[in-house]
Structure 1
Amino acid sequence: MYDPTVARLTYRAVLGRRRAAILFVLPALLLVIATAVRFFHGADDQVADQILGQFALATMVPLIGVIAGTGAIGPEIDDGSIVYLLAKPVKRPTIILTKLTVAIAVTMVFSAVPTLIAGYILNGNGQQIAIAYTVAALVASIAYSALFLLIGTVSRNAVVIGLIYALIWESLFGSLVPGARTLSVLQWALAVAERIGTEGVISSEVGLPVAVVLLAGLTVAATWYAGQRLRVLKLAGDE
């Protein structure tokens, strides 16, 4: 269920000049902030928790997920070049799973790795904060990639919709509005981080068992529906 040729083309699309530049900006900014805070403020567990939670996990990870997830398939659908791929003897579920794999890999590299480095810069992994948020970034990367890949198959405004979700729902409502927190990938990922970190340092509005079920459910459902959308996508001349 993985096609190397599709993967190579997808990596090329996601890591094109414009998208690659954007992908590097947020991790670089996180590392600059972490270095400046450590230099001027010293090691502080609470500050590390705030920066990794509010900037890295709540803002950087979903935004990178938008870039990687929508970029894995959205541009091909928008410009019509997807028809050349669909005309090849490759099963459409294989195309979706391959593109999802690429999106997950890119999101993980550009979010989890800088989160780990920033965590060690901020407080040397005191209270297991760096490891906890890194694992949370990894699991969130999977869910976000599946969600934004799906959005890329259903709308030509996938990037706009993804940005609205990432900046308004996750960063704002998912952090502030009680009812929305249980439907937030951020809170599900925080539940994982809470279990790994020292007790009382990281908190989530969702219990770990529920968070795991919701993360898995979203990933599977989004991937399946994206496959269905691609399955019914008509090639030129099909009608």
Structure 2
Amino acid sequence: MYNSTVARLTYRALLGRRRALVLLALPTLLLVIAVVIRALGGADDRAATEILGGFALASMVPLIGVIAGTGAIAPEIDDGSIVYLLSKPISRRTIITTKLLVAISVTLAFTTTPILLAGMILNDNSQQIGSAYTVAAGVASVAYSAVFLLLGTVSRNAVVFGLVYALVWEALFGSLVPGARTLSIQQWSLALAERVAADGADITSDVALPTALILLAAATVLGTWYAGERLRVLKVAGDA
């Protein structure tokens, strides 16, 4: 269920010069903010929670997920170059699984390490706040990659819809509207952050941990399965 050639081509597409600069922009901004806050106010648990929760997990992780998830397949479908890949003797499930693994690895690389470093800078990882948000970013990266990879197979406007979801639903409604929180990958991942952090940390989720784990798994599995179905029925020259 993994093809090294597909992986290499996908990495090359995702980590091209222009897209790599975009992927680096948000983690760099996070680290700059962390350094400035630490320099001006010293170690601060509240600031760490606000920056890692309000910016990193709520905005940075889903945005990078959009870039990696949709970028792993949507451009090939849009410009028609996917037909060359589909004409090869490679299972379409293998193509989807490989692209998902690449998207996950890219999202993880550009989110978890910067978040952990920012946590160390902001408050020396006091109360395990940095570790908690790193774990949350890790599980969220997997779910976002699956959801946005699926979006890349169902819409030619995958990036636009992904940005709407990331910026409007996750960052705005997922943080402010009680009913929307239960349908937010951000809130599901926060349930793990709440468990990892020390008891005194101000990290809470509206979703219970068992429910959050089930929903994260469901989003990942169903997103991957349906993306495979979409690719399976995609017609190319020579298909029966």
TM-score, length-scaled by structure 2: 0.98
- Show the counterpart of 1:217: 218
Q: What is the deviation of 1:200?
A: 4.4
Greater than 2 Å deviation, 4+ residue runs: 236-239
Q: Match of 1:228?
A: 229
Asked whether 1:189 is paired with 2:193, we answer: no
**Contact 2:127–2:200 (Cα < 8 Å) also in 1:** no
Tell me the alpha carbon deviations over residues 157-178 of structure 1, each in whole angstroms, 9 at most, x when there is no partner. Answer: 0000000000000000000000
**Counterpart residue number, 1:33:** 33
Asked if residue 93 in structure 1 is aligned to residue 82 in structure 2, the reply is no
CA-based RMSD: 0.8
Partner of residue 150, structure 1: 150
Q: Trace 1:6-155 onto structure 2 (pairs within 5 A).
A: 6-155=6-155
Q: Which runs of 5+ in 1 are unaligned?
A: none
C-alpha separation in 2, matches of 1:235 and 1:3: 20
Query: In the aligned structure 1, how far is the partner of 2:41 from the partner of 2:148?
Result: 37
SS of the residue aligned with 1:203?
coil
For residues 232 and 175 of structure 1, what CA distance do their matches in structure 2 show?
37
Amino acid at match of 2:228: G
Question: Which residue identity lines up with residue 231 of structure 1 in the other structure?
Answer: R
Q: 1: CA distance between counterparts of 2:12 and 2:92?
A: 19
Matched residues in 2 for 1:188 and 1:200: separation? Answer: 20
Q: Provide the residue aligned with 1:164 in structure 2.
A: 164
Look up the equivalent residue of 1:227 and give its one-letter code: G
- Residue deviations 1:33-60 (CA, integer Å, cap 9, x gap): 0000000011010110000001000000
**1:192 & 1:98 partners in 2: Cα distance?**
27
State the Cα deviation string for residues 7-46 of structure 1 (Å, max 9, x = none): 0000001111211110000000000000000000110101
Q: Using the alignment, how far apart are the partners of 2:111 and 2:33 within structure 1? A: 15
Answer with 13-22 or 220-229: which moved more.
13-22
| 2: CA distance, partners of 1:185 / 1:18 | 28
| CA deviation string 1:50-79 (max 9, x = no partner) | 000010000000000000000000000000
Q: Which amino acid aligns with 2:124?
A: G
Distance 1:156 1:175 in 2: 28
The alpha-carbon deviation at position 238 of structure 1 amounts to: 3.5
Q: Distance between the aligned counterparts of 1:3 and 1:39, measured in 2?
A: 46
Equivalent-residue separation in structure 1 for 2:167 and 2:220 (angstroms): 20
Give the counterpart letter for 1:24 in structure 2: L
Q: Distance in 1 between matches of 2:208 and 2:101?
A: 27
Q: Distance in 2 between matches of 1:238 and 1:88?
A: 12
1:99-137: CA deviation from partner (whole Å, max 9, x where unpaired):
000000000000111000000000001000010000000
Deviation at 1:237, TM superposition (A): 4.5
CA-CA distance at 1:205 after TM superposition: 0.5
SS of 2:6 mapped into structure 1: helix
Task: Please give the alpha-carbon distance, in whole angstroms, between the structure 1 residues aligned to 2:238 and 2:142.
Answer: 35
Q: Alignment length, in residue pairs?
A: 239
- Structure 1 CA distance, aligned partners of 2:210 and 2:24? 34
**TM-score scaled by structure 1?**
0.99
Secondary structure of 2:183's aligned partner: coil
